[in-house]
Homo-oligomer: A and B are copies of this chain.
Amino acid sequence: MNQDYIKADNWSIIEEGFDAESVKSSESLFSIGNGAMGQRANFEENYTGKTFQGSYIAGIYYPDKTKVGWWKNGYPKYFAKVLNAPNWIGIDIEINDEILDLNTCTEVKNFRRELNMKEGWYNRSFEATLQNGTEIGVTIRRFLCMNLDEVGIINYEITALNKDTKIVYKPYVDAGVTNEDANWEEKFWEPLDVKRTGNAAFVTAQTFKTHFKVTTFMQNSIFVNDKNGNISPSNIKTGTDKIQFSYDVIIAKGQKSSIQKIGGYTVSMNHENTVTAAETVIKEALAKGYDQLLADQIEAWSKIWEMSDITIEGDVKAQQGIRFNIFQLNQTYSGKDSRLNIGPKGFTGEKYGGSTYWDTEAYCIPFYMATKDQQVARNLLTYRYNQLDKAIENAKDNLGFTNGAALYPMVTMNGEECHNEWEITHEEIHRNGAIAFAIFNYHRFTGDYSYIPEKGLEVLIGIARFWYQRANFSTEKNQYVILGVTGPNEYENNVNNNFYTNYIAKWCIDYAHEQIQKVSLEYPSDHKSIIEKVQLSDAELQDWKKVSGNMYFPFSEKYGVYLQQDGFLDKHLVPVKDLDKSQRPINQKWSWDRVLRSPYIKQADTLQGFYFFEDHFTTEQLEKHFDFYEPFTVHESSLSPCVHSIQAAKLDKMDLAYTFYLRTSRLDLDDYNKEVEEGCHITSMAGTWMSIVEGFGGMRVKNDALHFSPKIPKEWTGYTFKINFRNQILKVEINHNETKFSLEGTQELTVFVNEDAVLVKPNL
């Protein structure tokens, strides 16, 4: 944890001073994205110090050969990789014939980065003394247009500080890039074509195997003292996968010059001819011009903040944390395109190849549901519906299930499983439950039932069939059991009767059953066609109920708690607080067998069940389970603190709730896990939002109405958030004395505060 490296600020992420050791971390933290593409905060100019290069295009992946020591049947043939995309940002700079490289400059002063979250741009500035004695000032602004989402803009400005200075700008586009995590030193991009037109250049390449075709383009304009010099390249270097222009400029001491580079990607998912599309989008961008594009950017972010901002008064770090989380979520996923999903690292790193985990359903949907149009959440559900066939194939071909049982993959880019640890891939099957739960949650929040007869019911049936087959009857217990699973707590593998898994399995079957009944009554023709399509008989439904009606849940009479799994109480039950600090984090300090046989919990497991199914248990039960499990929880997953924060708030453990909140909201900014250089934890950022809205705000939806139980950490003077509840925008302001609601639109809304009905009238 490093609390001093990022300056506290309400609206910006700021780094001051150049530290080569922080470059990779800053490249993550200052990443920018616009839902369609993303860019780590790599330098435009040459840099020979330690760096992790990353440019990403949403939906573009590569099926890398599965790397595994000991093959197990059912492993996927490939492992999807988030691909490092061709470089469009590169601008080599020569200053009086010396290459500008912050790693070799004799002095770098006033280095400063700012990620302005309010306006959606990233700035970098510094003063450098080169080895040849030239001193220059440099200011760079970069942003990825939220509206024109194939386009990014760079304005790279140089001031001659101590002498007349010859500058050569050498902007390039380059498809000769590699991944840091390439397994077999395979190449991922096959260059197809390189083209130049005037100040524009186009490199077209396609991914091997997946054949995504991408044109990476640039268009350069050179300015001297803010005037466009209409300069043409003095030199052009063309390779098979790279093109680089040279522009020569000489400025007098005190003068400045800049290059404006428009760049980005057009991809074959969206265009037949990617080069033509690139030419079109360049024209569009040039027609607007830099100032207008920047104004559009500020306007676009202003709209996003208008709906999704959370303000916190009296606690700058908490404010900065939540805004960083909201900003990153909006950079990662715009919800426009149901082919896309939310990768755990978004556009900030390669790790966790594949874009979709159960994180989407368990953690992300509530945020998008409450801060966007409901179509966004519906698109996320549709993503899974579109992959139902592959989930059925996965269960059948890889794991031997039958009769349309569906197991959604643990990790996927296109619906196929692409993770290959048996204890995760084959056993962490609770993910299937979250996908059903998200359907329930979507309906509960939006009131839009239409999704279920249209799409959801087929998904629910496939999932119910899976659980029905996956359970088996134990003659010993005279109940149904689920053996050999990994629960949400991945520090246990191949356990029997994980409470969370058994519980959600039973719930999935019952919920599917109920929805079949409901659709049969309310949408009889949909019902008929679905039942015919999936060949579901009454007898099969009766079989399901046998399992869900007689499911075993491990329970300890002594402690009055459900057990995380069979045998949990046999462990050496030393709470985390008594564990020597030198042993933490256990996943780095201990061998895997020691982790597994310890009682330590990586993230909410039994408590995840109490989070999802809160209404099924009393607050006393929740407290008992929280007090039993939290002391064994090491929170070594980014997804852990948010759920615990929500539950601690509910249980009036406000200090604990606040501690968890800080941990979840500033996980990356303060680099709790010492790994932010690999990228940011995007999906857990939605959990941060939940910590405030569901945790402190106590927001729930019950019986088609919003409920709140407002609380506030003593460290804050007040906070506000907004909820889009069924197309009514409700603003909630909470301080130590009161809770205020204000409502957009024209209709009034009844909400419940601590179970009391409050009629909110629109702000007219």
Cα distance A221–B400 when bound, in Å? 61
Contact mask A751-764 → B, CB, 8 Å, 1/0?
00000000000000
Closest to A558 in B: B476
CB–CB B79/A592 < 8 A: no
* Interface magnitude class on chain A: 35 or more
Q: Which residues of B contact A590 (CB under 8 A)?
A: 73, 400
Q: Which residues of B contact A69 (CB under 8 A)?
A: 66-69, 79, 420-421
CB–CB A474/B591 < 8 A: no
CB–CB B483/A571 < 8 A: yes
**Interface residue from B420, B474, B569, B593 paired with A476 (Cβ < 8 Å):** B569
CB–CB B591/A484 < 8 A: no
Q: Which residues of B contact A398 (CB under 8 A)?
A: 591
Cα distance A475–B472 when bound, in Å? 30
CB–CB B474/A593 < 8 A: no
Cα distance A473–B572 when bound, in Å? 7
| A483 and B597 contact, Cβ closer than 8 Å, known pairs A69-B421, A570-B474, A572-B472 | yes
Closest to A556 in B: B476
Q: Which residues of B contact A236 (CB under 8 A)?
A: none
CB–CB A570/B481 < 8 A: yes
Cα distance A510–B544 when bound, in Å? 51
A148 within 8 A of partner (CB): no
Give chain A interface residues in 530-562, CB to chain B under 8 Å.
558
Contact mask A60-90 → B, CB, 8 Å, 1/0?
0000001111101110000100000000000
Q: Which residues of B contact A426 (CB under 8 A)?
A: 591-593
| A72 and B400 contact, Cβ closer than 8 Å, known pairs A474-B569, A476-B569 | no
Cα distance A427–B592 when bound, in Å? 9
| A570 and B67 contact, Cβ closer than 8 Å, known pairs A426-B591, A591-B399 | no
Q: Which residues of B contact A195 (CB under 8 A)?
A: none
A493 within 8 A of partner (CB): yes
Q: Which residues of B contact A674 (CB under 8 A)?
A: none
CB–CB B399/A73 < 8 A: no
A429 to chain B, nearest CB (A): 8
A573 within 8 A of partner (CB): yes
A320 to chain B, nearest CB (A): 34
A577 within 8 A of partner (CB): no
CB–CB B597/A484 < 8 A: yes
Q: Which residues of B contact A572 (CB under 8 A)?
A: 472-473
**Interface residue from B79, B569, B588 paired with A73 (Cβ < 8 Å):** B588
Cα distance A168–B631 when bound, in Å? 80
Closest to A185 in B: B184
A589 within 8 A of partner (CB): yes
A594 within 8 A of partner (CB): yes
Cα distance A587–B74 when bound, in Å? 11
Closest to A72 in B: B592
A581 within 8 A of partner (CB): no
A567 within 8 A of partner (CB): yes
A237 within 8 A of partner (CB): no
A496 within 8 A of partner (CB): yes
| A493 and B496 contact, Cβ closer than 8 Å, known pairs A474-B569, A475-B569, A591-B399 | no
A424 to chain B, nearest CB (A): 8
Q: Which residues of B contact A497 (CB under 8 A)?
A: 570
Cα distance A484–B492 when bound, in Å? 9
Cα distance A493–B592 when bound, in Å? 13
Cα distance A495–B593 when bound, in Å? 11
A484 to chain B, nearest CB (A): 4
Q: Which residues of B contact A72 (CB under 8 A)?
A: 591-592
Cα distance A79–B70 when bound, in Å? 12
CB–CB B570/A476 < 8 A: yes
A494 within 8 A of partner (CB): yes
Give chain A interface residues in 576-592, CB to chain B under 8 Å.
587-592
CB–CB B494/A596 < 8 A: yes
Q: Which residues of B contact A494 (CB under 8 A)?
A: 493-495, 596
**Interface residue from B73, B481, B591, B593 paired with A592 (Cβ < 8 Å):** B73
Cα distance A70–B496 when bound, in Å? 23
Contact mask A459-502 → B, CB, 8 Å, 1/0?
00000000000001111110001011000000001111100000
CB–CB A567/B567 < 8 A: yes
Contact mask A708-725 → B, CB, 8 Å, 1/0?
000000000000000000
Closest to A571 in B: B483
Q: Which residues of B contact A400 (CB under 8 A)?
A: 590-591, 594
Q: Which residues of B contact A496 (CB under 8 A)?
A: 567, 570
Give chain A interface residues in 128-176, CB to chain B under 8 Å.
none
Closest to A397 in B: B591
Q: Which residues of B contact A472 (CB under 8 A)?
A: 570-572, 597
A212 within 8 A of partner (CB): no
Cα distance A219–B398 when bound, in Å? 54
Closest to A573 in B: B475
A499 to chain B, nearest CB (A): 15
Q: Which residues of B contact A399 (CB under 8 A)?
A: 591, 593-594
A315 within 8 A of partner (CB): no
A305 within 8 A of partner (CB): no
A18 within 8 A of partner (CB): no
Identify which of A66, A422, A558 gathers the most chain B CB atoms within 10 Å of its CB. Answer: A422
A284 to chain B, nearest CB (A): 44
A369 to chain B, nearest CB (A): 33
Cα distance A569–B597 when bound, in Å? 21
A573 to chain B, nearest CB (A): 7
A670 within 8 A of partner (CB): no
A66 to chain B, nearest CB (A): 7
Q: Which residues of B contact A44 (CB under 8 A)?
A: none
A566 within 8 A of partner (CB): yes
A491 to chain B, nearest CB (A): 11
A476 to chain B, nearest CB (A): 4
CB–CB A566/B566 < 8 A: yes
Cα distance A496–B588 when bound, in Å? 24
Q: Which residues of B contact A73 (CB under 8 A)?
A: 587-592
Contact mask A403-424 → B, CB, 8 Å, 1/0?
0000000000000000011100
Give the 8 A-B CB pairs with smallest separation, nearest first. A74-B591, A426-B593, A484-B597, A476-B569, A72-B592, A483-B597, A474-B570, A68-B69
Q: With A73-B591, A398-B591, A474-B571 given, name 7 new contacts (CB 8 A).
A: A67-B68, A68-B69, A69-B420, A70-B421, A400-B591, A474-B570, A483-B597
Q: List 12 A-B contacts (CB under 8 A).
A: A68-B68, A69-B69, A72-B592, A399-B593, A400-B590, A472-B570, A472-B597, A475-B569, A484-B597, A494-B494, A494-B596, A566-B567
